[in-house]
Structure 1
Amino acid sequence: MSSSQAKRPIRTLVTGASGFTGRYLVERLLGRGHTVIETTAGRDEPETPTRLKLDITSPQACQRVIELARPDYIVHLAAISFVGHDDPLDFYRVNVIGTLNLLEACAAVGHTPRKLLIASSANVYGNVASDAIDESFPVTPVNHYASSKAAMEALVRTWFDRLPILIVRPFNYTGRGQAPNFLVPKIVGHFARREPSIELGNIDVARDFSDVRYVANAYEALLDSDVAGEIVNVCTGTPYTLRNILSAASDLTGHELEIRVNPAFVRQTDVKMLAGSPAKLHSLVPGVESIPFIDTLRWMLTA
């Protein structure tokens, strides 16, 4: 076989590549031999063959990037994901319209990738009293972030017959490098600095916390699988309350924190128990092992 016929590297376009999840996924894909083309919203930095500027809210910008990259795979992670973000309209501009711009760009330039993996969120399930939410549960969002993801899913579904799309619904996950306004990094930071006290909201809410490295592995495995036209939970199925996490962090560091409940941090729409069923994920990519949460905590505390 001549060298010109040699297998070209797999080209994978990742939006939101410099975000928390993106950094771990990009590292994973590079390790698997992918050529990763990252998109960045940054105005100032110069473009390179593997780093392209993209304003996801612009249809023209999306078309330009798809035309330039012609990727084998697309992983769409770019989103406004902090629930407390101050401008509600941004959630819809970026999370809904931005996602559709990307799909429409594929159609406009006549490019069909092998797979598009689109990140939604388990927040779409809303306030469900269950410790094993599976993909058949109704979508009942209770805030703008969740509503924007639910609207995005509904519209993306209308593309299932035109493009090979997989929608993932990650439950809570954490790890080194997550912004300190998220709960686990906030708790870890307080223990690492040996602060005397911490202000939190309701410490009895329970969440299915995954490790970001497990989430990145699951995304990569799903990309590599032959599954499309599906929605898949990414979770471990094991809920932890903040009280559990505080006590585990205390055991790991030998440090006691005084816990103060700040009423301002208690959200009325807070979901009491959010834990997913990973049964479908396990059936599709049986080789992906979750990471015990105590190991995640230990890893974050030693950062």
Structure 2
Amino acid sequence: MSILVTGGTGSLGYSILSNLSGTNHELYSFSDELPQPWQKVEGVQYLTGDLLDFRNVLEMIQKVSPTHIYHLASQSSVGLSYKKPYETLNINLLGTQTLLEAVRQVVPKAKVLLLSSSEIYGRTEQQLTYLHKETDPPNPLTPYATSKACMEILGNQFRNANGLHIVFARPFHFTGPHHSRRFVIPSIAYQLVKIKYYGAEPVIYSGSLDVSRDVVDVRDVARAAIQILNTAESGEAFNICCGKSYTFRELVEMLVDISGVSVDFRFDPGYDRCNDIPLLIGDPTKIMNLGWKPMICMEDCLSDLFNEMVVRRRVELKMGMGRDLRL
């Protein structure tokens, strides 16, 4: 079995590859750059290239000849999608088009998982109580959400017209070890690391912390994605969630307790975004019927994130990466 993970250097890609490491499968990652030391998984062959370059992607698929594909590579920041809507649509939609066309030509029997997002659900009139189901129609509010909703339509086109085996995963918010500092919770964890170990000002800068999200550990999301690709029928979509929410403020307060430092909070409008959905919770019934459930509690998730961030920063400094990287 040959398994390809596009975007394999991200936190979810890392967790999927870690789950599959040590098996007899051939494991490949395809990203736009080589992994940093903390992004590497033993036994994985790391390939680089441009997802928008069809010849590049076609040659990669010919080389790997995958039987299973986790397509995670994307512009995954909602906030950045406002600043770069064309880039977001390019990568998330046309990049998927490039990959699926190469799959159609070279390995049409491969199983493909397309990583979508709960963001496609947008707002509802029942937003204070409603658990989104997979049958809910898309109602995107952001360029990122639109790109993912369109990606699902594109995936169904290839499935219907060409018979490809394609399934869709819609994770709600997730975090945990190896999560990029572009996102709220790891960004705050990194600020706490700098305060505790490197003498930074004891102030946390953030946008609004009063939005609520259904949150799952990234390693649980990885297990769900593997379960979906291995067992689901083509065309099926699955929420990956736990059915309950945390405010970002609650998560940050947990992180502060874990770090053991005292801090002040300051609002930074640079972190804020318009059209934010106040509350986004999913119905996990369908994915749980596959035999999955979240196993890692939020306290352990955030503790592991903080501790991994400490190690990551030490490695950066050892490599001479003194500036604040966004990884």
What is the TM-score when the length of structure 1 is the normalising length? 0.87
SS where residue 84 of structure 1 aligns?
Answer: helix
Shift of 1:151: 1.0
Determine if the alignment matches structure 1 residue 84 to structure 2 residue 79: yes
1:276 is displaced (CA, Å) by 1.2
SS at 1:39 equivalent: strand
Q: Distance in 2 between matches of 1:253 and 1:50?
A: 35
Partner of 2:122: 126
Match of 1:294 in 2: 299
Q: Which residue of 1 aligns with 2:256?
A: 250
What amino acid maps onto 2:145 in structure 1?
A: A
Q: Partners of 1:164 and 1:82 in 2: how far apart?
A: 27
Q: Secondary structure at the match of 2:79?
A: coil
Aligned to 1:100: 97
Contact map agreement 2:2 2:68 (CA 8 A) in 1: yes
Structure 1 residue 223 displacement after superposition: 2.0
CA deviation string 1:245-295 (max 9, x = no partner)? 1322233344332122234433221110011111111112x1443321111
Q: Which residue of 1 aligns with 2:222?
A: 216
Q: Which residue of 1 aligns with 2:52?
A: 57
Distance 1:116 1:62 in 2: 15
TM-superposed deviation, 1:80: 0.9
Alignment partner for residue 28 of structure 1, among 19, 25, 43?
19
For residue 147 of structure 1, report the CA deviation from its aligned partner: 1.0
Task: State how many pairs are aligned.
Answer: 288
Give the 3-state SS of the residue equivalent to 1:31 in structure 2.
Answer: coil
Distance 1:290 1:132, change over 3 A: farther
Task: List per-residue Cα deviations over 1:31-62 (Å, max 9, x = no partner).
Answer: 3432112213239xxxxx93433321122222
Give how far 1:165 is off.
Answer: 0.6
> What is the identity, as a one-letter code, of the residue corresponding to 1:277?
D
Provide structure 2 residue ranges, at least 5 long, that are not aligned to the other structure. Answer: 35-43, 309-327
Answer yes or no: is 1:38 the counterpart of 2:23.
no
Of Structure 1 and Structure 2, which has the larger fraction of its residues in helix?
Answer: 2
Q: CA deviation at 1:221?
A: 1.7
Alignment of 1:163-182 (within 5 A): 163-182=164-183
- Rounded to whole Å, the distance in 2 between the matches of 1:242 and 1:226 is 32
Report the secondary structure of 1:184's partner residue. Answer: helix
On the 8 A contact 2:133/2:239 being kept in 1, the answer is yes
Is contact 2:167–2:232 with CA below 8 Å preserved after alignment? no
1:237 and 2:228 aligned: no
Matched residues in 1 for 2:217 and 2:192: separation? Answer: 19
**Contact residue 103 and residue 110 of structure 2 kept, 8 A:** no
Deviates more, 1:223-232 or 1:261-270: 261-270
Matched residues in 2 for 1:262 and 1:106: separation?
44
How far residue 189 of structure 1 moved from its aligned partner, in angstroms, is: 2.3
Give the alignment's Cα RMSD to 1 decimal: 2.1
Percent pairwise identity? 32
SS state of the match for residue 99, structure 2? helix
5+ residue gaps, structure 1: 1-9, 44-48
1:124-144 CA-to-partner distances (Å, cap 9, x unmatched) read 111241451111222111111
Distance 1:35 1:292 in 2: 31
Contact 1:210 1:290 in 2 (8 A): no
Deviation at 1:145, TM superposition (A): 1.2
Task: Supply the AA of the counterpart residue of 1:52.
Answer: L
Q: In the alignment, what sits opposite 2:156?
A: 157
